[in-house]
Structures are given as C-alpha cells and as structure tokens.
Structure 1
Amino acid sequence: MSTPPDPAVLYPDVAARGSLAAALRAAADGRLDAALAASPDSGPLLHESVASTLPHREPLRISASTHERRWSIHGGEPFQGSCLIDGDTDDLAQVARAAQAWHDGETLDDIRRAAPFVHLTGHFEVPDLDPVRLVESQWQGMLREARELEYSWQAQYQALVEAAYAEPALRALYPFTSHWTLRFSSTTRPSLTLGSPCLSAGGDGTYGVGTGFITPDLGVFTTAPEAAALAVRHLPTDFGPVTLGRP
C-alpha cells in the first residue's frame, strides 16, 4: 500500500496559511471568522467544521482527501443524524461559499446555487420535528438515494422503494434500510419501533416479503407492487400513526 503524500504537498496554499480554517477565512474574505471551529490538532490542514446560525443544523464538516487535492463536505441535522447536503470539489472557493451559506442559514436549494458542487440528498429540514414531515423527509431521501445508486441492481431496488411509497399505508410509516432490506417503523429515528413486514429485492429479479430480517417467508413476487401490496395486508392493525422517536 502506497504512503499518502504529505498534506503540505497536496495543499501548499493551505499549509502556507497554517490551517484549513485560515485558508477558508481567506477564501471567504474573512466572513467565516465567527463560524469556524478550531481545526483538530491532529489534522489542521485536513479538517474543519463550520457552525450554523440555525439550531437545527449540525456544524458543516469539511475534510480534505489525503490522496488527491479534493475537499468533501457533510451537512446534517442533529435529531436523526440525517445528511442534508454533501459533495466534493477541488475548488476551495466553492467550499467557502457553501460553508458561508450553511452558516448564514440559507435554504438548501440556495446553498446549492451558491456552490454548484453541493449535492442535495433529498432529506429536508424539519425544525419543529413534526413526525409526519420527518417521515416524508426520510422517504424523499430514500427515493433520491435509490435513483442515484450505481449498482447493477439499482433499477430493482428503486422499483421496490417506489412501489412501497405508492402504497399510502406504507408511505405513512417511517422507512429505513438494513442491508438493503426495506423496513418500516412506527416511530422516527433515533428510536425505531419494529413490527411490520420487510421488503427485499433479490438478485434474481424477484421481490420478497417477510416477517423477519431478509427471509421472504410471506411470499416472493416478480413485481415490486405485488410485494408492497402483500406487505400492506400484513401490517399490524395498531402499527401507527408514526410518533416521534426519542433517544
């Protein structure tokens, strides 16, 4: 395994300023001074976080690659730990623009307009923690993730998620995946409540429905809508409406 190059070689401009924090300040014309956290002593050239004026946003995490000149970002919300924005770029000025917009509380769409490398995950912000909106945010994140997958069975998994979303009874539940098996909870993260059937996409083009993890003991079908419909028929009568999950 090759040894990564010295960060100062990949990022001489950052090294010249002493830290990623200082380089971001310079790229943002000093406007990020109050928002920047201290770079960790273990990697001042590679890591930084930028606080937001909005309490329902976690600090934006910025990390530099150790193998090529490139920065990645991750912006999430603290209640569920959902990622709202991410992305990577070799343009530090764009990173600074994204960080400034995140700090200033601009909308997710406006952050992307300010820095086009930013990728919206589909999750949206729910400051009041309304369970119905948290459920819809989770669904939108899963739908976008399914559509953007690059695996060979992407189309099959996408069909499964979309078929489940098309069923009102399943759409009203909080969805999540475990090893690419689609499951449902009657509470939101961070504390999930199980008890519903599981849906899975088989590698052979079939769709399974089971009472437990992965095992399709309720049925196997050739189409995703058939599997989703069976899952609805096996939902417990008292499963829902979704309430807020608590730690």
Structure 2
Amino acid sequence: MPDQESPYRLDAALYPEIAAVGGLLRALDAEFERLGVAPRARPNLEPAQAAERSVTVGDGERHTKVLLGWREPRIWVSIRTGRLVWAQGFAPDLAVAADTAARWLGGARAVEVAAVWPYLGSVRLVEARERGDVVEAAWLSLHDNHMDDVVRARLHPFLALAFQEPRLRRLRPFTSHWTLCFSRTVTYPWSRDCPSVDPLLEPGTYRVLAADGRELGVADAAGCLALVLAELDATAAGPPDA
C-alpha cells in the first residue's frame, strides 16, 4: 500500500489542477458532479489536511479509498468491502478514479469494475479473489505485477517459470522484504518448511535458501527453479535412513 505514513500536505507542483480546487476531497466531489452521481468523498486520515490527498468514498462496508502519491504523481485507488481489498491500482487520472468509485458504490461486482478499468488488475485476478481462491490470487498478483512493484519486477524472471510449475502452484507464495517465500498453509501462520528465493543485485540471478537458512545455491531463473523443486522433493521425502 503506497505512502500511508507520508506527509499529509498536497504537493501543488505534482498535482496543480487538484491543488487549484483545494485538494483531493473537492476535486473528487467535482468529478462526481460531472458524472451526475451522488457519492461524496470524506477525509481518510487525520488531521484535516488529509483531505488534500487521501480520501474515502462511501460510508458503509462497501467503499473506495483514493490516495495521491507524495513522491511522484500517482493516484492509488482501491475498492473494498470492510477491510477486504478486491482490486487496486494506479488510476491514469482523477476522472477514472471517480468513475471507478461510482461503479463500485453503484453496486457493480469487483470483476465488472476491473473489466472496465484494467489498471485495477486482471479480471482473472479479481475472479480468484471473488471465489476465495487465496493461493491463485497470490500467484496472479505476483506474476502479473500490474502495479509495477520493484520487488516483484526483480523476481519476475523466476516467477514466469515458477508460474508454470504445478508443484509450486499448490503452495502459497508471499514476499518478505526482497525474499520470495512459499507456504503449505494458505494464511498466516506460514508453514516455514519451504525453500525461499532472494533476488541478487545482478538481474536475473537468485540465491536459494532452505527453510533452515542453509544456502542451496546461486543460479539464474531456470537453475533457481531446479534448486527449489529439488529441495521440495527432499523435504517431502524426509530425512535419509540412518
């Protein structure tokens, strides 16, 4: 999630048009008026200056969060039910962000909103979330990387191969800092009995670690995949007979 703890004030140099109307809260309300819909934005964070760059649209369980980046001009949008995020991404402009919120609050399914606005992620990703397939959703989110996450970009050569491997697709993938981990459990606490993959500084090169922290080797994406699968096979077979 981008920049939730950043300074609240809107940078007018990054968002001159939004600053000109008094911040994100007022700019979004103006977009809703243009669309002819009723939603109204409210501040998402305290203090009150938060309304300049962080707002929530909708008062009930179904709502949309909109946040302006503070280092570069990006409009982050997420559609939610309670704390559950169905889809998120960087909208190309505020009009699209407003239309996204209007569709979601108007009763559209998350997959229907994603079909209209691909910046929210692929339809198949949102479908996986809607049917509660946590493992598939985690794999698609990592593989597709529709928000251009830096960690996922460095892992992508390996992920592109791992995505085709059924033995890995049964496991829940997740990242911890720069490390790609796998778990036999779908949600936390993780099983902590699978190898992990660290991307190194040289692009396309990875270090594979066993669950106990032993280094299993350094290789390119294909070699890394072979090391991971071999370790999974060894773990499944158990320790050798004495």
**What TM-score do you get using the length of structure 1 for normalisation?**
0.67
> Alignment partner for residue 29 of structure 2, among 22, 26, 29?
22
Structure 1, unpaired ranges of 5+: 239-247
How many angstroms apart in 1 are the aligned matches of 2:59 and 2:208?
A: 42
Task: Indicate the residue corresponding to 1:245 in structure 2.
Answer: none
Question: Could you say what secondary structure the match of 2:87 adopts?
Answer: strand
Tell me how many residue pairs correspond in the alignment: 222
Give yes or no for the alignment of 1:119 onto 2:120: yes
Q: Which amino acid counterpart does residue 211 of structure 1 have in structure 2?
A: A
Q: What are the residue-to-residue correspondences of 1:199-238 with 2, within 5 Å? A: 199-204=197-202, 205-212=204-211, 217-222=215-220, 223-236=223-236
CA distance in 2: counterparts of 1:237 and 1:39, whole angstroms: 51
RMSD between superposed Cα atoms in Å:
4.1
Shift of 1:221: 3.7
Alignment check: 8 A CA contact 1:197 1:210 kept: yes
Aligned to 1:242: none
Corresponding residue for 2:92?
Answer: 89
> Is contact 2:114-2:120 (8 Å) kept?
yes
> What is the CA-CA distance between 1:160 and the residue it aligns to?
1.6
Q: For the Cα contact (< 8 Å) 1:175–1:182, is it kept in 2? A: yes
**Aligned equivalent of 2:55:** 48
SS in 2 for 1:194: coil
* Structure 1 residue 136, shift from structure 2 partner: 0.6
Give the TM-score normalised by the residue count of structure 2: 0.68
CA offsets per residue over residues 149-191 of structure 1, 9 Å max, x none?
668x94x722322333333222111111123322112223354
User: What does 1:71-150 correspond to in 2, within 5 Å?
Assistant: 71-76=75-80, 84-90=87-93, 92-108=94-110, 110-112=112-114, 114-115=116-117, 118-120=119-121, 123-125=125-127, 126-127=129-130, 129=132, 133-145=133-145, 148=148
Normalized per residue, the structure richer in helix is 2
> Any gaps of 5 or more consecutive residues in structure 2?
1-9
Q: How far 1:49 sits from its partner (Å)?
A: 1.2
Asked if the contact 1:176/1:184 (under 8 Å) is kept, the reply is yes
CA distance in 1, matches of 2:59, 2:145: 25
SS of 2:37 mapped into structure 1: coil
Tell me the residue number matched to 1:157: 155
What is the distance in 1 between the residues matched to 2:225 and 2:177? 21
Residues 230 and 207 (structure 1), Cα distance of their counterparts in 2 relative to 1, 3 Å cut: farther
The change in CA–CA distance for 1:169 and 1:207 in structure 2 (over 3 A counts) is: same
Deviates more, 1:59-68 or 1:159-168: 59-68
More strand by share: 2
Cα distance in 1, alignment partners of residues 21 and 234 from structure 2: 57
Corresponding residue of 1:182: 180
Which structure has the higher relative contact order (CA within 8 Å, separation 6+)?
Answer: 1
Identity %: 19
Q: Secondary structure at the match of 2:168?
A: helix
